[in-house]
Amino acid sequence: MNRRLALLSALLLCCPALFAQNAAPDAGVAVGVVTTEKPEVAEFQKVDDAWSQAVNARDEYGLELALSPLFVDVAATGDVTTRNQQVAQLINGDDKTVRLEQKVITVRVLGDVAVANGTYTLHHKGKNGPVDEKGVFTQVFQRVHDRWLCVNSQRTEIREDALQAVKAKKKSSADEPFHIPFFTK
């Protein structure tokens, strides 16, 4: 009798676990699908779009809303500037062709701090004419009063000759893609 009671108890305890594992997913929800567009990426893309629009429109107030008072920027050239210096360059700068585009690729949120990585294109006037500087950025944000403010930004320019070298990889001079000793010439 004790064996039957123990067997019945074990069976009753295991059944809910078996049904829970085999339960059908909700209608319209794909299991195991990874989305490329995370809500964090979209949220920080809006912040970077506001930042870019402020730079492109020479909007001092818009730039101050996107950047923290503690903001530090490290340009691709190595120049280090603060938020106040960025605003002053925006207003007093002699280069009126400055245009900034930023695309957020990844975001890691760590409580009230977030790190965003992405690509940028900065159109500006160079020594020999207009320049389109393309590169990657890392930005650190802090949540302040339910808004994200950029505290630190660092840009790294991607050199054009490095891009062209990757695109123009040498093709093998071999007749066949594989070389098997003793079987091919």
For the ranges 28-37, 54-63, 77-86, 126-135, the lowest mean pLDDT is seen at: 28-37
Residue 181 pLDDT greater than 90, yes or no: no
Beta bridge partners of 67: 150
- What is the pLDDT averaged over residues 98-123? 93
**pLDDT per residue over 114-147, tens digit each?**
999 999 999 877 778 788 889 999 999 999 999 9
Q: pLDDT: is 96 or 81 the higher one? A: 81
Q: How confident is the model at residue 159 (pLDDT cuts 50, 70, 90)?
A: confident
Q: Rounded to an integer, what is the distance from CA 136 to the centroid of its chain?
A: 9
Look-up: residue for tokens 């818009």?
62
CB atoms < 10 A from the CB of 65, how many? 14
Name the token pair of 41. 């990426």
Q: How confident is the model at residue 83 (pLDDT cuts 50, 70, 90)?
A: very high
Look-up: residue for tokens 């957020």?
104
Residue 22 pLDDT greater than 60, yes or no: no
Name the token pair of 154. 């660092």
Q: pLDDT: is 55 or 125 the higher one? A: 55
Average pLDDT, the chain: 78
Q: pLDDT: is 166 or 76 the higher one? A: 76
Q: pLDDT: is 8 or 111 the higher one? A: 111
Percent of the chain with pLDDT over 70: 66
- What is the pLDDT averaged over residues 1-25? 51
Name the token pair of 20. 């829970």
List of domains in the chain: 39-160 (3.10.450.50)
So what's the pLDDT on residue 20?
A: 46
Q: How confident is the model at residue 35 (pLDDT cuts 50, 70, 90)?
A: very low
Q: How confident is the model at residue 33 (pLDDT cuts 50, 70, 90)?
A: very low
